[in-house]
Amino acid sequence: MRSLILRTVAPLIVGLMVLFSIFVLLRGHNEPGGGFIGGLIAVAALSIYGIAFGVETVRRAIVFHPLAIAGAGLMLSTLSGLVSMVFHVPFMTGLWIYPVILGEEVPLSSVMTFDIGVYLVVVGAVTSVALSLEERGED
Partner 1 sequence: MAVSSPPVDLSAALVLEPVAALDWLVILPVAWCIGIGAVLMMVRHRTFLHPPIAVAALGVLAGFDATLLWHVAQNGPVTMVMGRWLPPFGIAFTVDLTGALFALIAAMVALAGAVAAVTDINDSGRRYGFYPFLMLLMAGVSGAFLTGDIFNLYVWFEVLLISSFGLLVLGAEREQIDGAVKYGFLNLVGTTLFLIATGYLYGIFGTLNMADIAAKAGPLRETAPLTTLVALFVFAFAMKAAAFPVNFWLPASYHTPRIVVSALFAGLLTKVGIYALIRVSVMLFPLERDDLSLVIAAVGALTMVTGALGALAQTDTRRLLGYLVISGIGSMLAGVALGGPGGIGGAVFYALHSMVVMTALYLAAGLAARLGGGFSLASLSGLYARHALFSALSLMLFFAVSGLPPFSGFWPKVMLVKAALDGGAGWLAAALLFTGFLTMIATGRLFLLAYWRPAAAAAPSGQAAVPATALLPLIVLTAVSVLIGLFPETLLGLVQQAALTLDEPSAYLHSVFPAGSAP
107 binds partner 1, rule: CB under 8 A: yes
71 binds partner 1, rule: CB under 8 A: yes
96 binds partner 1, rule: CB under 8 A: yes
CA distance 34 to 6: 29
CA distance 21 to 14: 10
Nearest approach, Cβ of residue 75 and partner 1 (Å): 4
CA distance 82 to 52: 41
Nearest approach, Cβ of residue 78 and partner 1 (Å): 5
Nearest approach, Cβ of residue 89 and partner 1 (Å): 6
Among 48, 58, 62, 70, binds partner 1 (CB under 8 A): 70
What φ, ψ does residue 100 adopt, rounded to 5°?
-100, 115
What φ, ψ does residue 24 adopt, rounded to 5°?
-65, -40
85 binds partner 1, rule: CB under 8 A: yes
Q: What is the CA radius of gyration of the chain?
A: 17
Contact criterion met (CB below 8 Å) for 33 and 16? no
- What is the number of other CB atoms lying within 10 angstroms of the CB of residue 96? 10
Nearest approach, Cβ of residue 55 and partner 1 (Å): 18
Among 9, 57, 94, 129, binds partner 1 (CB under 8 A): 94
Residue numbers 29-68 binding partner 1 by CB under 8 A: 65, 67-68
Please give the residue ranges that form the binding site for partner 1 (CB under 8 A): 65, 67-68, 70-75, 78-79, 81-82, 85, 88-94, 96, 98, 105, 107
